[in-house]
Structure 1
Amino acid sequence: MGIIEKYISRELLSPFFVVVIILIGLFVSFSVARFLTGAVAETLGVVAMLKLVGLKTIIALEVLVPIAFYVAVIYGLSRMNRDQEINVLRSVGYSDRKIVRTIFMVALPIAVLSGVLSIYARPWAYAESYVMNAQAEAELNTDRFQPGRFYGSEKSGRVIFIRKKDEHAKYMEGVFHYIRTAENREIVLSQKGYQHPLELNQWPRIELQHGKIYRLALDAIKDSTIQFEKMTYFDEDTQTQKYRRKAAPTRSLWESDQPWDIAEFQWRISRPIATILLALIAISFTRTTPRKDKADKTFVIAALVFAIYYNLSGLAKTWVEQEIVAPSLGIWWLYGALFMIVMLRLPELQPSFSARN
């Protein structure tokens, strides 16, 4: 890599890293504020909450990275254009074709990074976050409960009451548990209870001691009473993880013929393509007269173009999921349109891959 290529790369990568850090900081701040108002911090603790924020950040990076490089290309080339550096490069024989080729070479490793995040890191982070969210929202997770109050779930027909609780030792006294099923009604009364400490990737479980179970059948003749010394309850609603395509391995999506799986697969593998095409489109926005008012207008137009693209990409994915668009066409029509825009606005791009300067 020559001196000029190194200089252009530095002018792009410096704002890229700055924008990435700013976007991550904003995302993390928003996520922490949202989780603090929910049950995650109270239920799983601060350390687990921070891990969940980290997982959400990994998920968001597949979008933040292309945005950051898009902004970096516009900012870096606009500054070089404003300071007449682009004209100097042209005067010494460094053509626009070479500038585009240099930016393309810088975009390639960033596109690979975006692809790795989307294909591998994103589904792993989704799988981990689903488990942690299930732990925090589990009905039998008594970390969420305050003594002296009834807690009910209309979905499961469960009602729980705890007369007294030791927050630190996880011990409870006077436990009342009512659950409604299709066959009967079950009431559990226990003198003591113990909430096992929650660990990551483990479901909540409660150990009850010295109690009775009253099973009231719809047919009164079948009512029964069971006395127990010790019994362990698991949260049945979270014992089986539901299939979630965002957490599914990319290979399983590739082998699936379901439209929602196809849409998710196409979304993942399109991230590197989107990163490169957006970077090339960003180049065209910097070819303006080097004046401040023109530069300000350029950023507004560029932001509008990205907003349109982002909304269309979500719409394209939804159309595949709803079978409005055939899987063979999928979301690729959008990137075909982006490619045409690139070729129209950068006429020197095609020769840059077939001709030698």
Structure 2
Amino acid sequence: MKIIEKYITRELLFPFFTVLSILVGLFVSFSIARLLASAVTETLGMVAMLQLVMLKAIIALEVLIPISFYVSVIYGLSRMNRDQEMNILRSVGFSDYHILFTVLMIAIPVGIISGVLSLYARPWAYAETYILDAQAEVELNANRFQAGRFYGSEKSGRVIFVQAKDNSGTRMEEVFHFVKKEGISEIVVAKKAFQQQQISLEQRPHTELFDGYIYRLAYPKDEDSVIQYEKMTYFIENEQSKWHRRKAAPTRMLWESERTQDIAELQWRLSRPIATILLALIAVSFTRLSPRQNKSDKTFLIAAIVFAIYYNLSGLAQTWVEQGVVGAMPGIWWLYLLLFIIAGLLLPGSRQKLFRRQ
């Protein structure tokens, strides 16, 4: 790599890592505040909460990396253009094609990193997140309760009481569980209970109850019932479990699936490196201003609007594939074909303007 290419690479990578660090820091701070507000710390503990935050940060990188590089290209090249460095480079024979080629040589490995994260790291992080979320949401979560206290929830209509817990925190004694549903109230009592730890996506979070009774009180009809059991497995129903499993599914499994939801998820993962590269090409066009024009604020505003439009369209394109509105082909690829056309139209026009100014 020549000296000029190294210089441009440095001018782009430094703001890239700076912007990425800021965005990741903001995301982590927001996630911690949100989890603290939802009382996840009391349920899982501080260590597990921080683990959950880190997993969510890994998931967010597939979006944060493209936008960080997009901003860094605009900032880096705009600064060089404003400080007359672009004119100096052109005067020594470093053409616009060389600048574009240099940006591409940086965008391609950044896009590959984004793609690897999306194809492999993101599903793993979703799987681990799902397990932690399931442990936090399970109704009879032993980590959630202190012995000798009643816990109630107006939202779910539940009241839970645990008389005693062992040192491990997973075994409970003298459990009382009341839930009020539409038309019926249910009381579950058990002498002992054991919380099973979820270690995989295939395993549903559950608690095993031993030596107890189930009282079902129906109203207004007299249809009360009592069931005695020696062992009962209590499962928690999670409405988002299917969504989580699709997000956490291995890429190879999605590749073999013909379900529209899986196809949309696979195409989203495959589109991450393409999005990074195309957004970088579009970002180059925003830097083609006259050095005498102080329009940096306007440039970043337009760039922000363009990215917002792209991000919303990408979500819409994925939803259309999931719902079968658009088939597997063109799938979500029509959006990236549109980005490619826009990038192709912007860059040549910008070059012609530059040549006329010279």
Contact 2:285/2:350 (<8 A) preserved: no
SS in 2 for 1:275: helix
The question of 1:284 aligning with 2:285 is answered yes
Query: In 2 relative to 1, CA 150–63 (structure 1 residues): closer, same or farther, beyond 3 Å?
Result: closer
DSSP 3-state at the match of 2:161 = strand
Q: Residue 108 in 1 paired to residue 108 in 2?
A: yes
Q: Indicate whether 1:346 and 2:342 are aligned.
A: no
SS at match of 2:150: coil
Query: How many angstroms does 1:297 deviate by?
Result: 1.1
**CA distance in structure 2 between the aligned counterparts of 1:167 and 1:185, rounded to whole angstroms:** 29
The answer to whether the Cα contact below 8 Å between 1:100 and 1:349 also exists between their aligned partners in 2 is: no
State the Cα RMSD in Å.
Answer: 3.4
Q: Indicate the larger mover: 248-257 or 285-294.
A: 285-294
Q: Distance in 1 between matches of 2:223 and 2:254?
A: 52
Where does residue 150 of structure 2 map in the other structure?
A: 148
Q: What is the match of residue 53 of structure 2?
A: 53
Per the alignment, residue 161 of structure 1 pairs with 160
- 1:62 and 1:117 in contact (8 A); partners too: yes
Inter-partner Cα distance in structure 2 for 1:290 and 1:255: 52
Residue 41 of structure 1 deviates from its aligned partner by 1.1
Residue 330 (str. 1) matches residue 331 (str. 2): yes
Aligned to 2:93: 93
List runs of 5+ in structure 1 lacking aligned partners: 351-357
| CA distance 1:236–1:85, shift in 2 (3 Å) | closer
Equivalent residues in 2 for 1:112-191 (5 A)?
Answer: 112-145=112-145, 147-150=149-152, 159-162=158-161, 164=163, 170=169, 174-178=174-178, 187-190=187-190
TM-score by length of 1: 0.83
SS, match of residue 57 in structure 1: helix
Using a 3 Å threshold, how does the CA distance of structure 1 residues 232 and 151 change in structure 2: closer, same or farther?
A: farther
Q: Deviations over 1:30-86 (max 9, x none)?
A: 000000111421111111111111111111000000000000000000110011000
Which residue identity lines up with residue 344 of structure 1 in the other structure? Answer: L
Distance 1:334 1:189 in 2: 56
Structure 2: give runs of 5+ residues left out of the alignment. 352-358
Work out whether residues 214 and 228 of structure 2, in 8 Å CA contact, stay in contact via their aligned partners in 1. Answer: yes
The 5 Å alignment of 1:70-81 reads 70-81=70-81
Q: Distance in 1 between matches of 2:324 and 2:33?
A: 37
Q: Rate the CA distance shift 1:330–1:227 in 2: closer, same or farther, 3 A.
A: closer
- The code of the aligned residue for 1:97 comes to Y
How far apart, CA to CA, are the structure 2 residues paired with 1:152 and 1:304? 42
Amino acid at match of 2:294: D
1:37 matched to which residue of 2? 37
What is the TM-score with the length of structure 2 in the denominator? Answer: 0.82
Number of matched pairs: 339
Residue 354 of structure 2 corresponds to: none
CA distance in 2, matches of 1:4, 1:348: 24
Contact 2:314 2:332 survives alignment (8 Å): yes
1:301 — aligned with what? 302
Give the drift of 1:320.
Answer: 1.3
Q: Which residue of 1 aligns with 2:355?
A: none
Gap change, CA 1:164 and 1:338, over 3 Å in 2: same
Deviations 1:269-305 (A, max 9, x none): 0110110000011001001022463122111111111
Give the % identical residues.
57
